[in-house]
Amino acid sequence: MRAIIFSFFVLSAFHFSPLISRADDSTNSTPARVAVPSPLVAPAPAAPPPHWVMKPNHVDGSYALNETVSWTVDFTGDRTGLTAVPYVVKEDGKVETGKGTVDLSAGPATITATRSTPGLLVAYVYPVGKPSTPSLAVGGALFAPDQINLSVPVPADFDAFWQGKLKELATVPVNPLAEQVDVSAIKFAGTIDYYKVTLDNINGTHVYGQLARPKGNSSKKFPAMLVLQGAGVYPLDKQVVISGAKAGYLALNISAHDLPIDEPGAFYDNLKKTTLSNYVLLGNESRDSSFFLRMFLGCARAVEYLTSRPDWDGKILLVTGGSQGGYQSFFTAAFCPQVTAMAVEVPAGCDLLGEDANPPRAFSWPYWLSDWALKGRDKKKVEETAPYYDAINFAARVHCPSWVGVGLIDDIARPTGVVAAFNAIKAPKKLFIMPLYGHAGAGAPECLQELSTWRNDLRDGIPLPTTSTPK
At 438-463, the pLDDT tens digits run 998 766 788 888 888 888 999 999 88
Question: Which of these, 453, 302, 421, 437, lies nearest to 354 by C-alpha position?
Answer: 421
Work out the pLDDT band at 13, boundaries 50, 70, 90: low
One of 1.20.1420.30, 3.90.550.10, 2.60.40.1930, 3.90.1150.10 is the CATH number of 25-32+51-147, namely 2.60.40.1930
State the CATH architecture for 2-22+153-460. 3-Layer(aba) Sandwich (3.40)
Helix (H) or strand (E) holding 341: strand 341-345
Helices (H) and strands (E) in the chain, counts: 9, 19
Secondary structure class of 374 (helix, strand, coil): coil
Question: Which of these, 328, 334, 365, 325, lies nearest to 349 by C-alpha position?
Answer: 365
Give the pLDDT mean for 279-295. Answer: 98
- Residue 20: pLDDT over 50: no
Question: How do residues 182-193 score in pLDDT, each as one tens digit?
Answer: 998 998 888 999
Give the pLDDT mean for 153-166. Answer: 97
Q: Are residues 372 and 432 in contact, defined by beta-carbon separation less than 8 angstroms?
A: no
**What pLDDT is recorded for position 47?**
47
Secondary structure class of 239 (helix, strand, coil): helix
- Residue 258: pLDDT over 70: yes
Helix (H) or strand (E) holding 421: helix 415-424
What gap in Å lies between CA 193 and CA 180, rounded to an integer? 7
Residues 6 or more apart in contact with residue 331 via CB below 8 angstroms: 296, 299, 300, 391, 394
Question: How do residues 26-54 score in pLDDT, each as one tens digit?
Answer: 333 333 322 332 223 333 444 446 689 99
Q: What is the dihedral of CA 90, 111, 405, 62, to 10 degrees?
A: -100
Question: Which of these, 146, 154, 117, lies nearest to 360 by C-alpha position?
Answer: 117
Percent share of the chain, pLDDT over 90: 75
- Residue 301: pLDDT over 80: yes
Write down the domain spans for the chain: 2-22+153-460, 25-32+51-147
Structure letter (DSSP) for residue 367: -
**What pLDDT is recorded for position 27?**
34
Helix (H) or strand (E) holding 303: helix 291-308
- Residue 360: pLDDT over 90: no
Residues 6 or more apart in contact with residue 39 via CB below 8 angstroms: none
Mean pLDDT of the chain: 88
Model pTM score: 0.90
Question: How do residues 203-231 score in pLDDT, each as one tens digit?
Answer: 999 999 999 999 987 789 999 999 999 99
Give the pLDDT mean for 64-68. Answer: 98
Question: How do residues 379-433 score in pLDDT, each as one tens digit?
Answer: 999 999 999 999 999 999 999 999 999 999 999 999 999 999 999 999 999 999 9
Q: What is the dihedral of CA 126, 230, 23, 93, to 10 degrees?
A: -60
Question: How do residues 315-346 score in pLDDT, each as one tens digit?
Answer: 999 999 999 999 999 999 999 999 999 999 99
Q: Are residues 346 and 412 in contact, defined by beta-carbon separation less than 8 angstroms?
A: yes
Give the pLDDT mean for 279-290. Answer: 98
Give the pLDDT mean for 145-164. Answer: 95
- Residue 141: pLDDT over 70: yes
